[in-house]
């Protein structure tokens, strides 16, 4: 018989070891899955995890790594603040879309001006768009006690509908022969989110992600706001006793995560994606949830987890084109990763005891 016994304090060793073990377990389970699908598991694992970094075409894939990791990290950092405080914004996907729409819209309003102010205006508009979208669940929660999980999620579907509407309506490229989709921002210098170092994949969104990691780290470890966020997540009642205003905290955490998701959307639409289109969003807002948990809601961890998940995206695409692996397999792979992590978390807080307790 196996019993669980609570540790007096969470184990530091297991806190760091579990993400690594979860990744390994996912590789094994994924390998079994791929074998069942009739592909060589070793080849798949190598294609996903090794080739993009060290393979023949690594020079191309390495750049893509930052391109994919940037938005994941930026969104996950915002989410992690709220998750730590027990505030569950899971509608980042919607905030990401709204940030992209608002940012691109603000820029396109000035087309074809070449003013250097356009890009900063777009950044502000993108952040505001995501922020405003996250304020809906935040205000409903603080004002009426409405469940933020459900509301923020419902708003993802609304945002998708708005995206579909504006890409064939309000923001449609007037010179696009009637095809849905906005003008391509990459072809417009004033609005383009260009690569800062050619070939590195480093664009302004990645810079923003790194800044977010550093600021989040300082906030959580040194600042009262970080302490209040952690305290609220640990024990809401003790937080009130420590003078934390729960309403303000909800607004701050939701607003922050919304603004960061909006920023991620803006940087994506002005850079890698280039235009608002009906299939502009690709699930970063949901994958970022996995990133946040895999990184143990810790900024440095999120940085690493974001890079890892970006690797699975790129490797997954490579496996799709080289080995004919279905695209859904990689989504499944990411879901499995989260499951294994959650399952292994038990080691951090509990000790396993084997053997039966003696009854005489």
Partner 1 sequence: MTALLKIEGLTKAYPGVVANDDVSFEIAPGQVHALLGENGAGKSTLVKMIYGLVKPNSGTMTLRGQPFEPPEPRAARADGVAMVFQHFSLFDALSVAENIALGMENPPPMAELAQRISDVSTEYGLPLSPDMTVGDLSAGERQRVEIIRCLLQNPKLLIMDEPTSVLTPQEVQILFATLRQLSAEGTAILYISHKLEEIRSLCDQATVLRLGKVVGRCDPRQKSAAELAEMMVGSELRPPSRTPAEPGAPKLQVTNLSLPAPSAFGTALRDISFTVHAGEVLGIGGVAGNGQDELLSALSGEAATSGATVRLNGQPISTLGPNARRALAVLAAPEERLGHAAAPNMSLIENALLTGATRQNLTRNGFIDWAATRRFAEQIITRFDVRTPGPGNAARALSGGNLQKFVIGREVLQTPEVLVVNQPTWGVDASAAAAIRQSLLDLAHNGAALVVISQDLDELMEISDRFAALNEGRLSAPRPAQGLSIEEIGLMMGGAHGMEVAHHGTA
Partner 2 sequence: MDLSSINAASLIASLMVASTPILLAALGEMVVEKAGVLNLGVEGMMIAGAVCGFVIAVETGSPLAGFAFAAFGGAVLSLLFGVLTQYLLSNQVATGLGLTLFGLGLSALLGQGYVGQKAPPIARLDIPVLSDLPFVGPVLFSHDVMLYLSLAMVAGVAWWLKNARGGLILRSVGENHDAAHALGYKVVRIRLMAIMFGGACAGLGGAYLSLVRVPTWVEGMTAGAGWIALAIVVFASWKAGRVLLGAYLFGGITVLQLNLQAAGAKLPVVVLDSSPFVITIVVLVVMSSARNRAALAAPASLGRPFHASG
Give, in order, the Cα–Cα distances in Å from 30 to each of 176, 211, 254, 310.
43, 34, 34, 17
5 near partner 1, rule: CB under 8 A: yes
Kindly tell me which residue out of 1, 6, 9, 56 binds partner 2, with binding defined by CB under 8 A.
6
Name the minimum Å distance from CB 116 to partner 2: 34
Q: At what angle do helices 299-323 and 327-349 cross, to 10 degrees?
A: 150
Residues 6+ apart with CB under 8 A from 187: 274
CB-nearer residue toward partner 1: 11 or 320: 11
Q: Quick count: other Cβ atoms within 10 Å of Cβ 323?
A: 15
Kindly tell me which residue out of 112, 145, 178, 355 binds partner 2, with binding defined by CB under 8 A.
145
Residues 6+ apart with CB under 8 A from 161: none
Asked if 268 and 71 touch (Cβ cutoff 8 Å), the reply is yes
28 near partner 2, rule: CB under 8 A: no
For every residue of 167-208, DSSP letters joined together read: HTTTT--TTSTT-SS---GGGSTTT---BSSTTT--BHHHHH
For every residue of 295-318, DSSP letters joined together read: TTT-HHHHHHHHHHHHHHHHHHHH
Name the minimum Å distance from CB 340 to partner 2: 10
Q: How many residues contact partner 2, by CB under 8 A?
A: 47
CB-nearer residue toward partner 2: 43 or 336: 336
43 near partner 1, rule: CB under 8 A: no
Asked if 31 and 43 touch (Cβ cutoff 8 Å), the reply is no
Q: Pick from partner 2, partner 1, none: which does 53 bind, CB < 5 to 8 A by kind?
A: none
234 near partner 1, rule: CB under 8 A: yes
Asked if 60 and 294 touch (Cβ cutoff 8 Å), the reply is no
Kindly tell me which residue out of 161, 194, 197, 222 binds partner 1, with binding defined by CB under 8 A.
222
Scanning 24-32, 220-228, 261-269, 297-305 for contacts with partner 1 by CB under 8 A, the matching segment is: 220-228
Q: Pick from partner 2, partner 1, none: which does 241 bind, CB < 5 to 8 A by kind?
A: partner 1
Q: Which of 328, 320, 322 is nearest to 283 (CA)?
A: 328
Name the minimum Å distance from CB 87 to partner 2: 11
Name the minimum Å distance from CB 97 to partner 2: 13
Q: Pick from partner 2, partner 1, none: which does 198 bind, CB < 5 to 8 A by kind?
A: none
Q: How many residues contact partner 1, by CB under 8 A?
A: 24
4 near partner 2, rule: CB under 8 A: yes
- By CB under 8 A, name the binding residues for partner 1: 5, 8-10, 222-225, 227, 230-231, 234-235, 237-238, 240-243, 245, 357-360
């Amino acid at each position: 018989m196996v019993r669980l016994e609570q540790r007096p304090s969470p184990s530091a060793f297991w806190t760091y070891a579990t993400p690594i073990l979860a990744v390994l377990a996912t590789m094994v389970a994924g390998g079994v899955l791929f074998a069942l699908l009739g592909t060589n598991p070793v080849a798949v694992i190598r294609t996903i995890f090794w080739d993009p970094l060290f393979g023949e075409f690594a020079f191309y894939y390495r750049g893509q790594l930052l391109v994919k990791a940037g938005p994941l990290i930026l969104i996950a950092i915002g989410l992690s603040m709220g998750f730590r405080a027990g505030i569950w914004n899971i509608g980042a996907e919607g905030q990401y879309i709204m940030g992209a729409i608002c940012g691109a819209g603000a820029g396109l309003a000035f087309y074809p001006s070449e003013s250097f102010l356009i890009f900063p205006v777009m950044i502000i508009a993108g952040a505001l768009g995501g922020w405003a979208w996250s304020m809906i669940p935040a205000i409903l929660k603080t004002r009426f006690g409405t469940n933020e999980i459900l509301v923020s999620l419902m708003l993802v579907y609304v945002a998708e509908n708005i995206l579909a509407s504006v890409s064939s309506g309000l923001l449609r490229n007037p010179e696009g022969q009637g095809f849905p989709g906005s003008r391509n921002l990459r072809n417009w210098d004033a609005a383009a989110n260009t690569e800062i170092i050619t070939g590195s994949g480093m664009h302004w969104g990645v810079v923003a992600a790194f800044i977010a990691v550093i600021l989040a780290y300082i906030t959580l470890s040194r600042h009262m706001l970080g302490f209040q966020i952690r305290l609220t997540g640990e024990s809401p009642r003790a937080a009130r006793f420590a003078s934390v205003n729960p309403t303000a905290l909800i607004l701050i955490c939701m607003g922050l995560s919304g603004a960061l998701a909006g920023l991620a959307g803006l940087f994506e639409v002005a850079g890698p994606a280039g235009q608002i289109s009906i299939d502009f969003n690709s699930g970063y807002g949901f994958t970022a949830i996995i990133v946040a948990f895999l990184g143990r809601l810790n900024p440095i961890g999120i940085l690493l987890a974001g890079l890892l998940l970006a690797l699975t995206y790129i490797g997954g695409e490579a496996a799709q084109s080289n080995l004919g692996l279905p695209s859904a397999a990689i989504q499944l792979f990411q879901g499995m990763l989260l499951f294994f992590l959650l399952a292994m978390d038990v080691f951090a807080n509990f000790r396993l005891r084997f053997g039966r307790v003696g009854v005489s």
